[in-house]
Amino acid sequence: MADNVNTNSRGAGDVILDVRNLKTHFGDDDKAVRAVDDISFKLQRGKTLCIVGESGSGKSVTARSILQIVDYPGKIYGGEILYWGDQQVKSGQPLDLAQLHPRSKQIRSIRGHEIAMIFQEPMTSLSPIHTIGSQISEAILLHQNVDKEEARARSIELLRRVEIPNPAVAIDKYTFEYSGGMRQRAMIAMALACNPKILIADEPTTALDVTTQAEILALIKELQQAYGMSVLFITHDMGVVAEIADEIGVMKNGKMLEFGPAEQIFYTAQHDYTKELIDSVRKLETSARKARKSTITDKKLLEVRNVSKIYPSRKSFLGKASDPFKALDNVSLDLYEGENLGIVGESGSGKTTMGNCLIRVLEPTSGEILFKKSNGNISDLAKAGKSELRQVHREIRMVFQDPFASLNPRMTIGQIVGEPLLVSGLASGKELRERVGKLLETVGIPSAAMERYPHAFSGGQRQRIGIARSLALNPRLIIADEATSALDVTLRSQVLDLMLDLQEKLGLSYILISHDIGVIRYFCDRVAVMYKGQIVETGEAGLICSTPEHPYTKALISAVPGTHPRDKRIVNRHRYVADAAPGKAVA
Amino acid sequence: MFLVSLTVFVLIQLPPGDFVTSWAAQAAAAGEEVTPAMMEEMRRRFGLDQPLIVQYFAWIGGVVRGDFGYSFEWNAPVVTLLGERMGLTLVVTVSTLILSWCIALPVGIYSAVRRYSLLDYSFTFIAFVSLAVPGFLIALILMYMSVKMFNADVTGLFSPEYANAPWSWGRVKDLLAHMWIPVIILGTEASASLIRIMRANLIDQLHMPYVVTARAKGLTETKLLLKYPVRIALNPFVSTLGWTVPRLVSGAVIVSIVLNMPIAGPMLMQSLLSQDIYLSGAFLLLLCLMTVIGTLLSDILLVVLDPRIRVQ
């Protein structure tokens, strides 16, 4: 308490936001969910504070509490949020935001004016039916005494500031006409509209590709310096934290476990959970394959030759024909038995189309996919008939990205895992139960859990269940499409380790499709880098990740956030120019 | 429209017999003697003995020239019969529409914003009751009450002295005085379902991230609500416009019979019953046309309201 009085009498100093014992609960009674449970932190003027934590840790609710925009029934239950804006510094009295009514005029004059916020989903966070310009100038008109013309001119200037090409035209476009990265830029422009003192960024880059993420992070950093803003950055990604944080707060289950300067947290973390978080990211910086005995053989399992997938041009209602779209453009790959091949690329690069063509969910337009079956015969999957495919599908299985959507909520996990066996008529009744039990145990889930439904399991466990299902028919090749992207970092390496264990035990080969360089580096022997439907580079994972040849790969690798606060990689990143001219493939 | 006209024509020809048989049946019931020779004679005069395809082209040929044929039953050209009725129908329909929107929009918005509040529950209850209770029952109750309490006759759309009078200010006032009852009855029925649609749409939108964004900008709650979620929740609402008009015409038949309203519904039913093919054909054609126009209108409105549709 003494300290409390002290800071007050001393005035603001360098602290612009002083959060003390903040409690935000959902619900009133004993059963209330304590989303934010007694946390304190300070945001320094002009600095960046990162609040890091896994999903459900309460970091977003903390951010929203500051602006009092927590969704009902969430409510600030106790504590203080002391804001030291220019006025408050002058008067020597801080403004306690926690005391303001969520609908009061005072808090509204803070929102968007003194403290602005940007959000995770740039698609849904902007209104789909208002133009970008009207949404930006709305913020200007609300807080500043200017007319519409002036607001529009300022909006154009803001769009230019966040590097939106041709801002005078772009201002009248709608959200859906912007790409993900551009939407986030527009969002930032909107937040900057009134020169806020504090920018709260709630996972602003999570939904973006890694190169776009790097661009946005660099932009925020640059604007922060230009405008002298303080930034409160909410994220789950330790890599991003290492890039931008001056100070770090680590949250778990609504508590602030640790709070301190970035280097202190990264190098001398006190709390086990913080160490675990940092380790799980660092772990992905090396290759797991080096530590294990190699399972690679020189027998080719899969040979992809000149596969293309072209969506023909479509005529629109007015007879305007679109260009045919090459989702896959003459792609060739090899996979050896026991090998882990990574396919890396950004969204829209064709990597998922690739996976879908391999198991013929999509029909490739041309090319050959030669798969060596267990009986030694070679089958061309691109042309295989139905019965042939059915056979092959026992040997090639898929694991999907979203562990929540890919398991039927109305089936027990026993039924889910056993379904492939039942459908192919390989087992039923008691034998089926036994085999399902064994499969579940292989992936580390007790067989007694067989009768439970997917909702009873966490994300990581669900992904294990998905893997168990893919193992049911003793496959030889597993295609994992972003299998770990939906998982928290600490779970990510666990699932990858499980997959590697299974490989040693069962002699599997993997094709791992991912946008995450860390995951690829950890898991794969070789990598194919995809860009706009083409494979621009193939090579050993270690080499690609350290000394890439192709300029696109260079840009991609250099955009990956590091894990050491001292080497700000993103500031020195390599920018790939072809991005500026979309549609033009790399020569 | 050609296909529609063909379908309409086939539909009205589908019931067994024709106008002459139903006329003969009525005449017989009234004790008059109708000989087969008389029936044949009538059929020939009306052209009902021609093959269907000839009848169709004779009819549609007239329609194209604006001649909808002659009503056997009313002994008058269909056009004159239709003119007055359709005009009144439109007046009733449009006022019902306006009334139901005026009720449904604010109530729906309130119910969505104050979800699970006492008033929301009451609105929900009332809405379900008025959905469940047939309109004609409400009509009967209202009629009973107005006779009992105000000693006013509320059937029809005009007082007797104005019923066949030419249009004048007095007649318009009289119309307005009579119209409120059917409009309220039809309006509550229509708004009950619209409230539910509006409430559900808006609840979906209320927690969308863009609402949070707008709130973080510092907008007042009311302005925020009207500018963002309500505006987007209106889109599905507008698309209901297309089928409201024909539904009010066809769905209001019982209510308008009970209230003895000179609008399209009752006459359509009567003409169908007596197999007065030209009259019912013209009605059905108009109804289809109104559906098409209504849908077109709502589509155009949607395009105006929703830029996403415009670009696609």
Token pair 């100093």: residue: A13
Query: Measured between CB atoms, which of B208, B215, B306 is closest to A69?
Result: B215
Does residue A565 sit in helix, strand or coil?
A: coil
Mutate to test the interface with B, among A106, A127, A183, A232 (most CBs of B within 10 A): A127
* Domains held by chain A: number: 3
- Range name among A186-190, A193-197, A539-543, B191-195 with the lowest pLDDT average: B191-195
d(CA B172, CA A501): 86
Q: Which residue of A has its CA nearest to B210?
A: A125
Tell me the residues of B at the A interface, defined by beta carbons under 8 Å apart: 207-210, 212-221, 227-228, 231-232, 235, 305-308, 311
B303 is a domain residue: no
- Range name among A6-15, A56-65, A500-509 with the lowest pLDDT average: A6-15
In chain B, residues with a C-beta closer than 8 Å to the C-beta of A131 are 307
B98 shares a domain with B213: yes
Q: Does pLDDT of A49 surpass 90?
A: yes
Q: Please judge whether B215 and A111 are an interchain contact, meaning their C-beta atoms are less than 8 angstroms apart.
A: yes
B158 shares a domain with B132: yes
To the nearest whole angstrom, how far is the Cα of A126 from the nearest Cα of chain B?
5
Q: Does pLDDT of A1 surpass 50?
A: no
pLDDT digits (tens, 9 = 90+) for A546-561: 888 899 998 888 888 8
pLDDT on residue A2: 40
Q: Does pLDDT of B218 surpass 80?
A: yes
- Residue in A469, A474, A512, A466 with CA at minimum distance from that of residue A335: A512
When pLDDT is cut at 50, 70 and 90, the band that residue A584 belongs to is very low
A33 shares a domain with A110: yes
Q: Please judge whether B213 and A103 are an interchain contact, meaning their C-beta atoms are less than 8 angstroms apart.
A: no
B39 shares a domain with B181: no
A576 is a domain residue: no
Query: Measured between CB atoms, which of A71, A108, A131 is closest to B207?
Result: A71
B24 is a domain residue: yes
**Average pLDDT over chain A, rounded to whole?**
85
- Vertex B54, ends B63 and B265: CA angle to 5°? 45
- Range name among A90-94, B37-41, B224-228 with the lowest pLDDT average: B37-41
Contact in structure between A463 and A487 (CB atoms under 8 Å): yes
Q: Which residue of A has its CA nearest to B208?
A: A124
To the nearest whole angstrom, how far is the Cα of B55 from the nearest Cα of chain A?
38
CA distances from residue B180 to A145, A472, B184 in whole angstroms, order as listed: 48, 70, 6
pLDDT digits (tens, 9 = 90+) for B109-144: 898 888 888 888 998 888 888 888 877 788 888 888
B284 is a domain residue: no
The CATH number linked to A91 is 3.40.50.300
A387 shares a domain with A466: yes
In chain B, residues with a C-beta closer than 8 Å to the C-beta of A206 are none
pLDDT digits (tens, 9 = 90+) for A441-488: 888 888 888 888 888 887 788 888 988 999 888 899 999 988 887 777
Query: Measured between CB atoms, which of B209, B221, B306 is closest to A119?
Result: B209
Q: Please judge whether B218 and A103 are an interchain contact, meaning their C-beta atoms are less than 8 angstroms apart.
A: no
What is the SS3 string spanning A295-362? Answer: CCCCCEEEEEEEEEEEECCCECCCCCECCCEEEEEEEEEEEECCCEEEEECCCCCCHHHHHHHHCCCC
Contacts of B14 (CB under 8 A, 6+ apart): none
Q: Please judge whether A125 and B212 are an interchain contact, meaning their C-beta atoms are less than 8 angstroms apart.
A: yes
d(CA A273, CA A251): 9
Query: Measured between CB atoms, which of B212, B228, B306 is closest to A69?
Result: B212
Mutate to test the interface with B, among A125, A175, A200 (most CBs of B within 10 A): A125
- Range name among A182-191, A319-328, A343-352, B127-136 with the lowest pLDDT average: A319-328
Its domain, for residue B8, covers 2-67
B61 shares a domain with B100: no
Q: Which residue of A has its CA nearest to B213?
A: A125
Q: Last residue of some domain: B38, B67, B96?
A: B67
pLDDT on residue A535: 92
B234 shares a domain with B98: yes
Q: Between A58 and A317, where is the model more confident?
A: A58
Q: Last residue of some domain: B42, B67, B92?
A: B67
Q: Does pLDDT of A111 surpass 50?
A: yes
pLDDT digits (tens, 9 = 90+) for A147-165: 999 999 999 999 998 888 8
A297 shares a domain with A222: no
Q: Please judge whether B213 and A119 are an interchain contact, meaning their C-beta atoms are less than 8 angstroms apart.
A: yes
A305 shares a domain with A346: yes
Mean pLDDT value across residues B51-59: 75
B146 shares a domain with B48: no
pLDDT digits (tens, 9 = 90+) for B17-50: 666 677 677 777 777 777 777 777 777 766 677 7
B209 shares a domain with B139: yes
B285 is a domain residue: no
Q: Does pLDDT of B14 surpass 80?
A: no
A363 shares a domain with A232: no
Contacts of B120 (CB under 8 A, 6+ apart): B110, B111, B114
Query: Measured between CB atoms, which of B207, B213, B306 is closest to A129?
Result: B306
When pLDDT is cut at 50, 70 and 90, the band that residue A527 belongs to is very high
A149 shares a domain with A25: no
In chain B, residues with a C-beta closer than 8 Å to the C-beta of A125 are 209-210, 212-213
The CATH number linked to B199 is 1.10.3720.10
- Range name among A1-15, A18-32, A93-107, A317-331 with the lowest pLDDT average: A1-15
- Vertex A499, ends A495 and A501: CA angle to 5°? 115
pLDDT digits (tens, 9 = 90+) for A483-504: 887 777 777 888 888 899 889 8
Q: Does pLDDT of A538 surpass 80?
A: yes
d(CA A51, CA A256): 9
pLDDT on residue A478: 93
Cis, peptide link before residue A73, omega less than 30° from 0: yes
When pLDDT is cut at 50, 70 and 90, the band that residue B6 belongs to is confident
CA distances from residue B311 to A61, A105, A171, A428, B304 in whole angstroms, order as listed: 36, 38, 16, 53, 11
Edge-to-edge strands of the sheet including A247-252? A115-118, A198-202, A230-235, A48-52, A247-252, A255-261
In chain A, residues with a C-beta closer than 8 Å to the C-beta of B231 are 129
When pLDDT is cut at 50, 70 and 90, the band that residue B16 belongs to is low
B37 shares a domain with B164: no
Chain centre to alpha carbon of residue B226: 30
A451 is a domain residue: yes
In chain A, residues with a C-beta closer than 8 Å to the C-beta of B232 are 127-129
d(CA B103, CA B90): 20
Count the neighbouring beta carbons within 10 Å of the beta carbon of residue B180: 14
Question: How does DSSP assign A416-481, residue by residue?
Answer: HHHHHHHHTTS--HHHHHHHHHHHHHHTT--GGGGGS-GGGS-HHHHHHHHHHHHHTT--SEEEEE
CA distances from residue A501 to A443, B15, B174, B178 in whole angstroms, order as listed: 9, 75, 88, 83
β-strand partners of A255 = A252
To the nearest whole angstrom, how far is the Cα of A109 from the nearest Cα of chain B?
6
pLDDT digits (tens, 9 = 90+) for A205-236: 887 888 888 888 988 998 899 988 999 999 98
Q: Please judge whether B308 and A174 are an interchain contact, meaning their C-beta atoms are less than 8 angstroms apart.
A: yes
When pLDDT is cut at 50, 70 and 90, the band that residue A6 belongs to is very low
- Residue in B244, B211, B212 with CA at minimum distance from that of residue B228: B211
A270 is a domain residue: yes
Buried b or exposed e, range A430-441, using 16+ CB within 10 angstroms? eebeebbbebbe
CA distances from residue B79 to A178, A357, B5, B92, B281 in whole angstroms, order as listed: 54, 64, 17, 20, 12
Q: Does pLDDT of B304 surpass 90?
A: no
Its domain, for residue A173, covers 121-195
A257 shares a domain with A241: yes
pLDDT digits (tens, 9 = 90+) for A372-381: 988 888 888 8
Contact in structure between B190 and B100 (CB atoms under 8 Å): yes
Mean pLDDT value across residues A401-421: 86
Question: What are the tokens at A370?
Answer: 């030669």
β-strand partners of A3 = none
Question: How does DSSP assign A57-101, residue by residue?
Answer: SSHHHHHHHHHT-PPTTEEEEEEEEEE--HHHHHHT--EEGGGS-
A212 shares a domain with A92: yes
Count the neighbouring beta carbons within 10 Å of the beta carbon of residue A271: 13
Q: Which residue of B has its CA nearest to A193?
A: B217
B212 is a domain residue: yes
Q: Which residue of A has its CA nearest to B305?
A: A129
- Residue in B6, B21, B69, B4 with CA at minimum distance from that of residue B275: B21
A157 shares a domain with A93: no
Query: Measured between CB atoms, which of A108, A121, A187 is closest to B218?
Result: A108
d(CA A400, CA A490): 19
Q: Please judge whether A143 and B218 are an interchain contact, meaning their C-beta atoms are less than 8 angstroms apart.
A: yes
B227 shares a domain with B158: yes
pLDDT on residue A10: 44
d(CA A366, CA A352): 17
* Domains held by chain B: number: 2
- Residue in A36, A78, A26 with CA at minimum distance from that of residue A57: A36
Tell me the residues of A at the B interface, defined by beta carbons under 8 Å apart: 64, 67, 69, 71, 103, 108-113, 116-117, 119-121, 124-131, 138-139, 142-143, 174, 176-177, 187, 190
Q: Which residue of A has its CA nearest to B206?
A: A71
B218 shares a domain with B158: yes
pLDDT on residue B153: 65
A577 is a domain residue: no
pLDDT on residue B250: 64
CA distances from residue B143 to A584, B17, B162, B249 in whole angstroms, order as listed: 74, 38, 20, 21
Q: Which helix (H) or strand (E) holds A539?
A: strand A534-540
In chain A, residues with a C-beta closer than 8 Å to the C-beta of B207 are 71
Q: Which residue of A has its CA nearest to B235?
A: A129
When pLDDT is cut at 50, 70 and 90, the band that residue A103 belongs to is confident
B45 shares a domain with B118: no
β-strand partners of A478 = A397, A510
Query: Measured between CB atoms, which of A121, A129, A142 is closest to B217?
Result: A142
A303 shares a domain with A247: no
Question: What are the tokens at A239?
Answer: 């890599």
pLDDT digits (tens, 9 = 90+) for A267-301: 888 999 998 888 888 877 778 777 777 778 888 89
Query: Measured between CB atoms, which of A64, A116, A125 is closest to B210?
Result: A125
Question: What are the tokens at B91?
Answer: 């007046």
Contact in structure between A573 and A558 (CB atoms under 8 Å): yes
Contacts of A37 (CB under 8 A, 6+ apart): A23, A58, A253, A254, A255
Mean pLDDT value across residues A168-194: 88
Q: Does pLDDT of A45 surpass 50?
A: yes
d(CA B165, CA B91): 18
To the nearest whole angstrom, how far is the Cα of B244 from the nearest Cα of chain A?
25
Q: Does pLDDT of B312 surpass 60?
A: no
pLDDT on residue A320: 62
Question: What are the tokens at A469?
Answer: 């299902």
Q: Does pLDDT of A132 surpass 80?
A: yes
Question: What are the tokens at A432?
Answer: 């089926």
**Average pLDDT over chain B, rounded to whole?**
78
Size of interface A-B (CB pairs under 8 A): 78
A446 shares a domain with A384: yes
Mean pLDDT value across residues A537-553: 89
Q: Please judge whether A109 and B311 are an interchain contact, meaning their C-beta atoms are less than 8 angstroms apart.
A: no
Q: What is the dihedral of CA B102, B103, B107, B108, to 10 degrees?
A: -70
Q: Which residue of B has its CA nearest to A173?
A: B307
For chain A, the residue count is: 587
pLDDT on residue A251: 93
B293 is a domain residue: no
Number of H helices, E strands in chain A: 22, 20
A586 is a domain residue: no
Mutate to test the interface with A, among B117, B120, B213, B303 (most CBs of A within 10 A): B213
- Residue in A503, A213, A487, A205 with CA at minimum distance from that of residue A338: A503
Per DSSP (E only), the strands in A84-218 are 95-96, 115-118, 198-202
State what percent of residues in chain B have pLDDT above 90: 0
Q: Last residue of some domain: B67, B95, B118?
A: B67
d(CA A109, CA A13): 23
pLDDT on residue B1: 65
In chain A, residues with a C-beta closer than 8 Å to the C-beta of B216 are 67, 69, 111-112, 116-117
In chain A, residues with a C-beta closer than 8 Å to the C-beta of B215 are 67, 69, 111
Q: Does pLDDT of A3 surpass 70?
A: no
In chain A, residues with a C-beta closer than 8 Å to the C-beta of B306 are 129
A350 is a domain residue: yes
Q: Last residue of some domain: A131, A160, A195?
A: A195
d(CA A192, CA A521): 37
Instruction: Compute and round to an integer the Cα radius of gyration of chain B.
Output: 24
Where do the H-state alpha helices sit in B17-117? 19-29, 36-46, 52-64, 78-113
B135 shares a domain with B98: yes
A420 shares a domain with A344: yes
Q: Does pLDDT of A396 surpass 50?
A: yes
Q: Please judge whether A138 and B212 are an interchain contact, meaning their C-beta atoms are less than 8 angstroms apart.
A: no
Q: Please judge whether A124 and B306 are an interchain contact, meaning their C-beta atoms are less than 8 angstroms apart.
A: no
When pLDDT is cut at 50, 70 and 90, the band that residue A249 belongs to is very high
Phi, psi angles (nearest 5°) of residue A169: -90, -40
Query: Measured between CB atoms, which of B207, B218, B306 is closest to A109?
Result: B218
pLDDT on residue A580: 39
In chain A, residues with a C-beta closer than 8 Å to the C-beta of B217 are 111-112, 116, 138-139, 142, 190
